[in-house]
């Protein structure tokens, strides 16, 4: 490991001082450091700049919360380089390295002793009139919903050309196993071990009480067709990338070819986060 890109979330007050400490530590290990200031936006220009900087780096260190990890991971997955996520946020399901432990964890990583977890992404493609008009990937989820709050939308869902039927709901969440702890969990979806390859479809406030979350094999694709409606709808990928939809648009969702690599994000860390962040327990004091 000879070069590192440091992505610093400028919204976090403690990030600047920590970035200086990590830079000093890495340079002492003969690792060159470049830096990108992340202000919370994830438009194309920002991700393009990160991809350019990361392409000449051996690994990326993120200083922020899970949102910063999501931002970095989409481009790093395509480049095949690992992300070392230091948690300055609240939950830390993805950013698994605490502020107090970063030096030991980083030393272990540079020595090849730190676990690296591979995480699946969901690839999203929008077809309009048979032509591709939008493509992206998401580490957590792709959400299809109305742009106004609490408005029912109509969709038709199929998996590998097998029709599941029409859905009437406030929206649909298609998440990875990693994203099962995010919006999908809040909408009533199951929590899935992040090492699994799977696509999880979770309706949001479905009009039908019989609608339930569905878990799909990664060997296949979901096709969601927007049925005619006067309600404006859109896509949100990882809550960071947005795209406006039109009636008759077809959204194709499948497991992405390349996986994100997260450092120090083991199963032990994941289940520990469930206990500590969600107060998960099986006893009467849960």
> With contact defined as beta carbons under 8 Å apart, do 166 and 233 qualify?
no
Q: Determine the Cα–Cα distance for residues 129 and 2; give it in Å rounded to an integer.
A: 47
Find the angle CA(197)-CA(109)-CA(39) to the nearest 5 degrees. 75
Q: Determine the Cα–Cα distance for residues 276 and 286; give it in Å rounded to an integer.
A: 12
> Helix 102-110 crosses helix 15-28 at what angle (to 10 degrees)?
30
> With contact defined as beta carbons under 8 Å apart, do 109 and 263 qualify?
yes
Which active-site residues does the annotation give?
66
Beta bridge partners of 223: 158, 252
Q: Determine the Cα–Cα distance for residues 63 and 44; give it in Å rounded to an integer.
A: 21
Q: Determine the Cα–Cα distance for residues 202 and 155; give it in Å rounded to an integer.
A: 13
Q: Determine the Cα–Cα distance for residues 211 and 230; give it in Å rounded to an integer.
A: 23
Q: What is the DSSP letter of 231?
A: S
What is residue 241's three-state secondary structure?
strand
């Amino acid at each position: 490991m000879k070069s590192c890109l440091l992505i610093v979330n400028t919204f976090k007050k403690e990030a600047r001082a920590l970035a200086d400490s990590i830079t000093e530590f890495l340079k002492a290990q003969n690792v060159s450091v470049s830096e990108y200031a992340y202000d919370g936006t994830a438009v194309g220009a920002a991700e393009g700049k990160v991809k350019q900087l990361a392409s000449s780096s051996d690994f990326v260190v993120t200083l922020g919360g899970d949102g910063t990890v999501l931002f970095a991971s989409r481009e790093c997955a395509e480049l095949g380089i690992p992300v070392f996520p230091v948690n300055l946020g609240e939950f830390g399901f993805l950013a698994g390295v605490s502020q107090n432990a970063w030096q030991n964890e980083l030393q272990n990583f540079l020595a090849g002793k730190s676990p690296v977890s591979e995480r699946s992404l969901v690839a999203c493609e929008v077809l309009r009139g048979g032509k591709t008009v939008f493509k992206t990937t998401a580490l957590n989820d792709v959400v299809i919903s109305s742009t106004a709050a609490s408005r029912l939308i109509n969709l038709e869902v199929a998996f590998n050309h097998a029709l599941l039927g029409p859905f009437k709901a406030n929206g649909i969440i298609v998440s990875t196993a990693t994203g099962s702890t995010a919006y999908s969990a809040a909408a009533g979806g199951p929590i899935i071990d992040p090492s699994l390859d799977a696509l999880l479809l979770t309706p949001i406030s479905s009009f039908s009480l019989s609608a339930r979350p569905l878990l799909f094999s990664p060997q296949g694709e979901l096709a969601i067709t927007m049925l005619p409606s006067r309600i404006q709808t859109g896509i949100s990928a990882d809550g960071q990338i947005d795209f406006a939809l039109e009636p008759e648009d077809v959204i194709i969702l499948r497991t992405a070819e390349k996986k994100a690599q997260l450092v120090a994000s083991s199963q032990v860390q994941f289940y520990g986060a469930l206990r500590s962040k969600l107060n998960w327990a099986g006893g009467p004091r849960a």
